[in-house]
Amino acid sequence: MTLATLGSAVPDFEIAATGEKTVKLSDYRGKKVVLYFYPKDSTPGCTQEGQAFRDNIEQFKQLNTVILGVSRDSVKMHEGFKCKQEFPFDLLSDQDESLCNLFDVIKMKNMYGKQVRGIERSTFLIDEAGVLVKEWRKVQVKTHIAEVLSYLQSAA
């Protein structure tokens, strides 16, 4: 299995998204892409993280950056989550875990004393040429968006 690695081009992918779209990474050439992986729609941390991206969307746009959220939820679930939270960006449905595997975000986690496979909250920055330039793993929701914006501003 190929993994996306820092400093290398991310393989072009094609995946179902909200808005009855199929998104390809190559569709965003010329823009930076923030690809954020989160465990599950409509859960407290995931909602808070999405809201923080939503509330700062203009700053990301000024930095020529597109936001894309990814989880294993269905497009139908994503549509409800996106609509309720008024997210101005697409959510990608990775039900077969192909994107999760590409970025190595599926981990064993403790949930109520049991080991379960789940998405480790992670964010990846892909530059205008499709190269992976930064990754944040084991993201802390409260400080994360500020970290991403700070990095983008310093790299501008």
Kindly report, residue by residue over 19-75, the tens digit of the pLDDT: 999 999 999 999 999 999 999 999 989 999 999 999 999 999 999 999 999 999 999
> Which pair of structure tokens corresponds to residue 33?
């892409």
State mean pLDDT over 109-129.
88
Q: Provide DSSP, the chain.
A: -----TTSBPPP-EEEETTTEEEEGGGGTTSEEEEEE-S-TTSHHHHHHHHHHHHTHHHHHHTTEEEEEEESS-HHHHHHHHHHHT-SSEEEE-TT-HHHHHTT-EEEEEETTEEEEEEPPEEEEE-TTSBEEEEE-S--HHHHHHHHHHHHHHH-
Specify the pLDDT at position 82: 97
User: pLDDT > 70: what percent of the chain?
Assistant: 99
Residues assigned a catalytic role: 46
117 pLDDT above the threshold of 90 = no
**Cβ atoms within 10 Å, residue 29:** 14
1 pLDDT above the threshold of 60 = no
Nearest to residue 155, comparing CAs of 137, 130, 122, 128?
128
d(Cα 126, Cα 67) in Å, to the nearest integer?
11
156 pLDDT above the threshold of 90 = no
11 pLDDT above the threshold of 90 = yes
**Average pLDDT value over all residues in the chain:** 94
State mean pLDDT over 121-141.
96
State mean pLDDT over 136-149.
94
What are the chain's domains?
A: 14-155 (3.40.30.10)
